[in-house]
Amino acid sequence: MVEREPKSIRKVIFSDEFEEYFKNLDVKVREKYSYVIHIIQTQYVVSEKFVKKLPPTELYEARITLGNNEYRTILIAVETSSFMEARRVVLLNLFVKKDTKQYKKEIEKAYSIIKKMEG
Q: What pTM does this model have?
A: 0.90
Confidence class for position 7, pLDDT limits 50, 70, 90: confident
pLDDT value at position 29? 95
CA distance 60 to 107: 10
User: pLDDT higher for 71 or 2?
Assistant: 71
In tens, the pLDDT along 72-103 reads: 999 999 999 899 999 999 999 999 998 888 89
> Residue 21, Cα to own-chain centre: how many angstroms?
13
CA distance 83 to 105: 22
Q: Where are the domains of the chain?
A: 11-118
Q: What CATH number does domain 11-118 carry, 3.30.565.10, 3.40.50.2000, 3.30.2310.20, 3.40.50.300? A: 3.30.2310.20
Give the chain's mean pLDDT.
93
**108-113: long-range pairs with CB below 8 Å, 24+:** 109/17, 109/74, 110/59, 110/74, 110/76, 113/15, 113/17
